[in-house]
Structure 1
Amino acid sequence: MVIVGGGLSGLVAANHIARRGLPVAVLEKASAVGGRAITREKHGFLFNLGPHALYRAGTLQQTLRDFGIAVRGGVPTGAGGYALYRGRRHTLPTGLASLMTTGLLDIAEKIELARVQTALPAIDAAAADRETLSSWLDAHVHHERVRDLLRTIVRVTTFTNDPERQSAGAALAQLQLGLKGVLYLDGGWQTIVEGLRRTALAAGARIVTTSPAVGLERHNAREVTAVRLADGTAVRASAVVIAAGPDDVDAISGQTRLASTLPSPVRIATLDVALRSLPRPKQTVAFGVDTPLYFSVHSALARLAPQAGALIHVSKYLRPDENAGREVEQELERLMDDMQPGWRDRVEARHYLPSLMVTHAEVTAASGGLGGRPAARLAPFDNLFVAGDWVGPRGQLSDAAAASAVDAARLATEAAGHAAQRSGAAIQIA
């Protein structure tokens, strides 16, 4: 079997197949595996590509446990954080004490927020899959400030800033998952990449980098026989999983038109900053309530910086049609000025990413919520499958990447078994 793509989905799929004693090759176009989960080191600071959090009860974490991969880190609670509203900092209401003391809400708003938070675990999220987040909030939340705060939390948990189109069911499901906590990882998300790479190789998988796939060879309209690389090499396969974005699937398959039919990607603009030290060590978290902004010192909870150093993510959640240039970078710098005055004199390194793709397709109400995403089996093929954060009915973000990879690997294994019964073929380089 062949996996095209060595990001999280591709590595999870490879592990799933190799652990069953089956031959599998991973073809990655870049010089290293990991995709958007890579972590870069500079001056001792570990930069993820924007803010990353591993959901403790999510599919990716469970999959890592199944593979025997342990990760460590800190659990953010938001305690001591700020809610930014109309140019002022207010206590972020994360628990009973902070809810009672925050100046962000009046008494009636505090009572309503407490009611919503209490009811959240029991809400049937799937029932709201085809309802927009804005519509759901209008129907269930009376106070506009409480709606604003809930939209804030949805942005943080889903990275999506599109309440007029976002599926309320998907948003609520992610809020429910978030109640069980997330991890900021010691060593960054590269620890996940390296763990998956090592276990895949140990199980017998082959990983080949700098090997861009450009097309497929077929026995007939429904059966793929090989993956064709840019250098003309054909990698024979009894089944293929394309663990990549919809644009790549369209280009490689030569038959689908997924990219033009899916909702818009989810993107953020992010300024990632490494400081020698924090001017205000206690000011580590802030979320915009009336602006889609995010500030978090991830190194306060995870080992990402040298001693006394700080690794900070400052981000703006972009609307689908929004472009971010220098003006957004300046907006993020002003947030840094507010939260960490004097930071500019302590910079060790900084990266600005004006349009970082978080997930390839928003989960919208119009598309049917999570259940409306493309299936892992790619029609009309019998042995071609897809995986990624835009595929399948389970999970969002990296959890969707892992869940769809497991589904695609299982289906590919079944398809390869049928092919082996017919021909006895195995993967080989032609």
Structure 2
Amino acid sequence: MKYDVAVAGGGIAGLTAAIYAAKAGKRTIVMEKRERLGGRAVTDKINGAYFNLGGHALYFGDAQTTFRELGVRLQGNQPSTEALGIWKGKVSTFPMGIGSLLGTPLLSLKGKVELAGWLAKFGKLDMRAYDRMSLREWMEHSVHDPMVRHIFYSLLRTASFAAAPDLQAAGPVLQQLKNALQGVLYLDRGWGTMIDELTRIALEHGVQIATSSKVISVGHRGGAVRHLLCEDGTQAEASHIILAMPPAAAYRLVPQAEATALHTWKEQAIEITTACLDVALRRLPKPKQQFAYGIDQTVFLSNQSRAAYLSDDGAQVISLLKYQGTDPNPQQDLLELEQTLDLVQPGWRSELVEKRFLPRMTVCHDFMHMKRVESPGPAVPEIAGLYVAGEWATHGEMLVDAATASAKRAVQHILSHKDTGRAPNHEHRDAI
């Protein structure tokens, strides 16, 4: 089998890269080790309820722009921003607008004035100015009232799905919050519908898709890629190969990877994880309490059914997240999430239809952090024709926006024939 572009990995990044390559006239194949495409964007239908792999929300960033450009049909709605804040074991109105700001008991008058000022100017800030300082540094320098800081931290955790303020570069996280404040989209029947749409478009453009095809090696010789080798002996020859997979997995596939940038990218990568609890309830014991930020806890709750069709029988699908640190405790995390449900939806157990707990879900395999040496990709400069894509190959974007942006960077690099030696990457953002 001979191709212009071979993509290893059939998640959002891999499918996006394949579509753009095919649209440019390249003969393209996607090879996915699992039986179905999607990676962490799959949706499982369990007892009539549609469960993503933890809470998923589509922000107004690169991914939405990319999907519109490709003609992806996404059904869903924007949820209300009315929210609760959990502070010292109690729920209170969370300040998300003028009315809730005036009515919340969480802030003093001085704090309300400061937060009102931030709400007025936040959307006008150039977040790139804060790329080289940590989120903690930005917060200590910019926000004065202690409770306003707590509220900002809770918003930024939710926007970035991470609780790592000493590591996170401030600029990308602040930009992510700026995107989130424009509204988010919850998708009908979950993110699996997005994968179905990307698959449809890929096939329409002639992309060949091979599932249950586990790539075990990237063949390269004379400083250039030659083929992908699968576990069953299948070999796909290609002049360009895109590895749309985690950095450690990409490193393992490439012989002599220790002498390439893949080694640096693997070594600098810091994984972000969450504990995820999804429940389907016949009804909500507290119908007005559907969205809650943890303020003194790193938890988050959202009834995604308030905006999207997520159950065939009318059940309410609630997603809860516990943003984890470096030493997660699955039993303790589940207890905290269930206690959050007890607080926001007391009596939920008697309404339970289905429940799923994922103790350690990867949010991203790397991000813009203060220990980063360089921004990964799109090209592996020591091996001509080899590229990387995925949410970890970010140049400042986050989460699914990084997946789509990195995929496009890889294809743009292929089309412009820039794979000539290793050099600092200035296409988007430099590394910290």
TM-score (norm 1): 0.92
Q: Is the 8 A contact 2:392 2:402 kept in 1?
A: yes
Partner of 2:131: 129
Q: What are the within-5 Å matches in structure 2 for residues 321-360 of structure 1?
A: 321-360=326-365
Partner of 1:116: 118
Give the Cα separation in 2 of the matches to 1:267 and 1:411: 30
Does 2:76 match 1:73?
A: yes
Partner of 1:428: none
What is the CA deviation profile of residues 188-225 of structure 1, one whole-angstrom value per residue up to 9, with x for unaligned ones? 101110000011011100000011111122231x2001
Q: Is the 8 A contact 1:293 1:315 kept in 2?
A: yes
Of the structure 1 ranges 250-259 and 1-10, higher mean CA displacement relative to structure 2 is found in 250-259
Partner of 1:251: 252
Partner of 2:43: 39
What is the CA deviation profile of residues 306-359 of structure 1, one whole-angstrom value per residue up to 9, with x for unaligned ones? 34311011111112x121311211111111111111111222211111110011
Return the letter of the residue paired with 1:74. N
TM-score (norm 2): 0.92
Give the Cα separation in 1 of the matches to 2:419 and 2:244: 20
Q: Is the 8 A contact 1:272 1:311 kept in 2?
A: yes
How far is 1:263 from its partner? 3.7
Does 2:278 match 1:272?
A: yes
Of the structure 1 ranges 338-347 and 82-91, higher mean CA displacement relative to structure 2 is found in 338-347
Return the letter of the residue paired with 1:178. A
Partner of 1:189: 191
Of residues 29, 34, 49, the one that matches 2:33 is 29
Q: Is the 8 A contact 2:330 2:359 kept in 1?
A: yes
SS in 2 for 1:267: strand
Of the structure 1 ranges 134-143 and 397-406, higher mean CA displacement relative to structure 2 is found in 134-143
Partner of 2:100: 98
SS in 2 for 1:239: strand
Of residues 286, 307, 311, the one that matches 2:292 is 286
Q: Is the 8 A contact 1:241 1:412 kept in 2?
A: no
Q: Is the 8 A contact 1:77 1:94 kept in 2?
A: no
Partner of 1:306: 312
Partner of 1:426: none
Partner of 2:210: 208
Partner of 2:429: none
What is the CA deviation profile of residues 276-333 of structure 1, one whole-angstrom value per residue up to 9, with x for unaligned ones? 22222221011111111101110111000134311011111112x1213112111111
What is the CA deviation profile of residues 106-125 of structure 1, one whole-angstrom value per residue up to 9, with x for unaligned ones? 10000011112222122221
What is the CA deviation profile of residues 45-96 of structure 1, one whole-angstrom value per residue up to 9, with x for unaligned ones? 100110111113x1111111111112121212321x2001111111011100
Give the Cα separation in 1 of the matches to 2:242 and 2:171: 28
Partner of 1:15: 19
Unaligned runs of 5+ in 1: 419-430
Return the letter of the residue paired with 1:328. D
What is the CA deviation profile of residues 213-239 of structure 1, one whole-angstrom value per residue up to 9, with x for unaligned ones? 11122231x200101111222210010
The 3 A distance-change label for structure 1 pair 15 and 198 is same
Of the structure 1 ranges 33-42 and 249-258, higher mean CA displacement relative to structure 2 is found in 249-258
Give the Cα separation in 2 of the matches to 1:114 and 1:361: 33
SS in 2 for 1:55: coil
Return the letter of the residue paired with 1:87. G
SS in 1 for 2:263: coil
How far is 1:376 from its partner? 0.7
Give the Cα separation in 2 of the matches to 1:275 and 1:284: 12
Give the Cα separation in 2 of the matches to 1:60 and 1:367: 24
Of residues 370, 393, 417, the one that matches 1:365 is 370
Partner of 2:425: none
The 3 A distance-change label for structure 1 pair 33 and 399 is same
Give the Cα separation in 2 of the matches to 1:322 and 1:108: 37
Give the Cα separation in 1 of the matches to 2:416 and 2:173: 33
SS in 2 for 1:240: strand
Return the letter of the residue paired with 2:14. G
Return the letter of the residue paired with 2:349. R
SS in 1 for 2:7: strand
Q: When the two structures are aligned, how many residues end up with a matched partner? A: 411
SS in 2 for 1:62: helix
How far is 1:415 from its partner? 4.5
Unaligned runs of 5+ in 2: 421-432
Return the letter of the residue paired with 2:70. F
How far is 1:250 from its partner? 0.3
Return the letter of the residue paired with 2:298. P
Partner of 1:317: 323
Return the letter of the residue paired with 2:6. V
Moved over 3 A (4+): 413-418
Partner of 1:229: 230
Give the Cα separation in 2 of the matches to 1:3 and 1:24: 8
Give the Cα separation in 1 of the matches to 2:159 and 2:342: 25
Give the Cα separation in 2 of the matches to 1:417 and 1:160: 33
The 3 A distance-change label for structure 1 pair 417 and 127 is closer
SS in 1 for 2:349: helix
Q: Is the 8 A contact 2:413 2:419 kept in 1?
A: no
Considering only aligned residues, what root-mean-square deviation do their CA atoms show, in Å? 1.7
Q: Is the 8 A contact 1:276 1:308 kept in 2?
A: yes
How far is 1:417 from its partner? 12
Q: Is the 8 A contact 1:382 1:415 kept in 2?
A: no
Q: Is the 8 A contact 2:172 2:396 kept in 1?
A: no
SS in 2 for 1:411: helix
Q: Is the 8 A contact 2:35 2:212 kept in 1?
A: yes
How far is 1:258 from its partner? 4.3
The 3 A distance-change label for structure 1 pair 199 and 400 is same
